[in-house]
Amino acid sequence: MNKLNLEFDALYGALQTPKNITCKEKIKIQDKEFSQNQNEIPFSKLNCNSVPNLGINHNCIKDNLNSILKFPLCKQASEKPELKSVKVELEKRSELYIPSVSKILEKTMSQESIENLQRWKKFMISKMGEEEFQKYQKELLANGQNLHACINEYLGVTPKLELCIEEAIAGHWESLKAIFPNINAIKLLEERIAHPFLCYKGIVDCLAEYKGHLVVIDWKTSKKKKNSLASTFDNPLQIAAYIGALNFDSRHQHKLSKGLIVVAYEDGSKASTLFMDERAVQRYWKEWLLRVKMYWDSIE
């Protein structure tokens, strides 16, 4: 299972800026202005020096981890004592390593999901051969990087007059064209975030308005149609995790409660926009908290 991260990155794409993109087409972009905070703030280690010594009271530790399941999506007027206890316990456990959202999701995958992934990998290798399969994965990863970079250039604070679209992602780009006009008031692009209490980190693809709603957006690619949140597997949990982290980030003053998963298709057909309203976000937030607890339960 050491290659799970690579496999998920290959399936869903990664967030890095590629270099030396070969152009298939040059798309003219009209001048436009965006309000955006695009500062990439490097991760600073959470301060664990002030953490008191709780000894090895296992009942206390268990209670602290159980409190994770009650953690709110948004900041509240007064901070409850049990929330501080969660922070103390997780700061101790994350002293050497703060896990990413994707790492937590990977580590807490159900046995059924793990077996499905293994079967898919075995099938692909039998069909393509080991060497070609590895090449295929690398190409998927590179295409995901390229697509994210092009999206960021298009939505960025200073859009370029000409945007280079590599042939391998031309279909995905065509798929997204009808979606872009509905995305406005860009606040963040590829922003590094970390939850100060629950001790996880990640990179938010985009925070912007979609049809008048302020949403956390995640860009995905797929060969198959995705017409429901359930069909995107753990992606809604990822959105909920990012919303929770942003709501507790002192750099951002927005109170967030909605999300959007945009799935671009290789064949160029119109991208799916899977909207997450407040009720959906709260439901997936509770599922995310369960996964966070499962992860920290496994870390001794």
Tell me, what's the pLDDT at 252?
Answer: 84
Q: Read off the pLDDT of each residue in 9-32 and give the average, rounded to a whole number.
A: 40
Tell me, what's the pLDDT at 48?
Answer: 29
Report d(CA 274, CA 241) in Å as an integer: 17
Catalytic residue, chosen from 87, 187, 201, 218, is 218
* pLDDT tens-place string over residues 219-229: 999 999 999 99
Report d(CA 290, CA 174) in Å as an integer: 38
220 is catalytic: yes
Report d(CA 108, CA 103) in Å as an integer: 9
Write down the mean pLDDT value for the chain. Answer: 78
This prediction's pTM: 0.74
pLDDT level of residue 257 (50, 70, 90 thresholds): very high
Instruction: Look at residue 29 and tell me whether its pLDDT is greater than 50.
Output: no
Tell me, what's the pLDDT at 263?
Answer: 97
Closest by Cα among 10, 267, 9 to 140:
10
Angstrom CA distances, 161 to 21, 33, 85, 145, 226, stand at: 16, 13, 52, 21, 32
Q: Read off the pLDDT of each residue in 271-284 and give the average, rounded to a whole number.
A: 97
Instruction: Look at residue 293 and tell me whether its pLDDT is greater than 50.
Output: yes
Instruction: Look at residue 59 and tell me whether its pLDDT is greater than 70.
Output: no
Report d(CA 20, CA 146) in Å as an integer: 10
Catalytic residue, chosen from 187, 220, 226, 293, is 220
267 is catalytic: no
Q: Which has the higher per-residue pLDDT, 90 or 134?
A: 134
205 is catalytic: yes
pLDDT level of residue 78 (50, 70, 90 thresholds): low
Tell me, what's the pLDDT at 298?
Answer: 86
Instruction: Look at residue 57 and tell me whether its pLDDT is greater than 60.
Output: no
Q: Read off the pLDDT of each residue in 261-271 and give the average, rounded to a whole number.
A: 96
pLDDT level of residue 41 (50, 70, 90 thresholds): very low
Q: Read off the pLDDT of each residue in 171-182 and give the average, rounded to a whole number.
A: 95
Residue 221: beta bridge partners? 264
Catalytic residue, chosen from 205, 226, 234, 293, is 205
Instruction: Look at residue 58 and tell me whether its pLDDT is greater than 60.
Output: no
Ranking 11-20, 113-122, 207-216 by mean pLDDT, the lowest is 11-20
